[in-house]
């Protein structure tokens, strides 16, 4: 996949503190999208990348990591270990939203996702069986998007709780086209691993900003 920078990016990571509570899947936004949890301690990453990610020219990612993952990430940062990507990929309490800023065909998007999942396998973040399960299932699960493709303003919202991944695809006009729940570690590891595997589109900026924010202004 071509990761050449097209114009630039804006990236911000912030620590948020809210009253402790339970994370709920399926709570919240218009159209039935799962809302970003309000649980502390946690980390939120808001990313706008004007570069090719999943074969899409411009895409935004917002990633929320729950308390256990946040503690693990901070531990790796403090120790200076190289396992930060593994800590993120193994999260069992996470939420993410991808918003597309350009139109893209489903086949092109699937090709990009598959390449980043392969990178996750190579990095040991996803096993071969998990890759086979998810990569063969994706064309079927996302088939409702084939005719119209993905348009600017459309979005995927993901919620992870333990080994359950909920995926919601919403058109820019609020129409929910896909609302699917998958159980098993392969699904969450494929998603998060594709964000942070070496060579993946979001990975370098995301992990670098985590380290920078941990060090302070």
Residue-level pLDDT, tens digit, the chain, 217 residues: 332 322 222 233 333 222 222 233 333 344 578 877 776 666 666 566 555 555 555 778 888 888 888 888 888 777 765 678 888 999 999 999 999 988 988 998 898 899 999 999 999 999 999 999 999 999 999 999 999 999 999 999 999 999 999 999 999 999 999 999 999 999 999 999 998 899 887 787 777 766 665 554 4
Give me the pLDDT at residue 23, please: 33
Closest CA to 35 of 97, 83, 114, 80: 97
Distance CA 52, CA 142 (A): 21
- With contact defined as beta carbons under 8 Å apart, do 196 and 135 qualify? no
Distance CA 107, CA 13 (A): 31
According to DSSP, residue 29 is labeled S
- With contact defined as beta carbons under 8 Å apart, do 32 and 179 qualify? yes
Chain centroid, CA 102 distance in Å: 18
Q: DSSP letter string over 52-108?
A: -BTTBSSEEEEEEE-HHHHHHHHHHHHHT-S-HHHHHHT-SEEEEEEEESS-B-HHH
Q: Class of 5-215 per CATH?
A: alpha beta
Closest CA to 195 of 39, 79, 60, 50: 60
Give me the pLDDT at residue 207, please: 72
- With contact defined as beta carbons under 8 Å apart, do 117 and 188 qualify? no
Chain centroid, CA 127 distance in Å: 18
- With contact defined as beta carbons under 8 Å apart, do 100 and 154 qualify? yes
Longest CA span, the chain: 49
Give me the pLDDT at residue 20, please: 26
Closest CA to 154 of 96, 113, 100, 97: 100
Give me the pLDDT at residue 164, please: 95
Give me the pLDDT at residue 10, please: 28
Residue 21 burial (10 A CB sphere; 0-12, 13-18, 19+): exposed
């Amino acid at each position: 996949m071509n990761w050449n920078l097209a114009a630039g990016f804006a990236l911000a990571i912030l620590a948020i503190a809210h009253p402790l509570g339970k994370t709920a899947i399926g709570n919240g936004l218009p159209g039935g999208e799962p809302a970003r949890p309000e649980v502390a301690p946690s980390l939120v990453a808001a990313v706008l990348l004007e570069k090719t990610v999943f074969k899409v020219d411009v895409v935004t990612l917002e990633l929320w990591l729950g308390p256990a993952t946040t503690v693990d990430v901070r531990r790796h940062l403090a120790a200076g270990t190289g396992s930060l990507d593994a800590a993120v990929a193994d999260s069992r309490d996470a939420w993410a939203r991808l918003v597309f800023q350009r139109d893209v065909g489903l086949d092109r998007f699937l090709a990009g996702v598959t390449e980043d999942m392969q990178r996750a396998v190579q990095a040991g973040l996803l096993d071969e069986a998990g890759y086979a399960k998810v990569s063969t299932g994706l064309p079927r699960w996302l088939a409702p998007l084939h005719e119209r493709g993905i348009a600017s303003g459309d979005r995927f919202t993901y919620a992870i709780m333990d080994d359950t991944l909920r995926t919601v695809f919403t058109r820019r006009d609020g129409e929910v086209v896909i609302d699917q729940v998958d159980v098993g570690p392969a699904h969450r590891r494929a998603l998060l691993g594709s964000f942070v595997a070496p060579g993946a589109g979001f990975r370098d900026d995301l992990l670098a900003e985590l380290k920078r924010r941990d060090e302070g202004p």
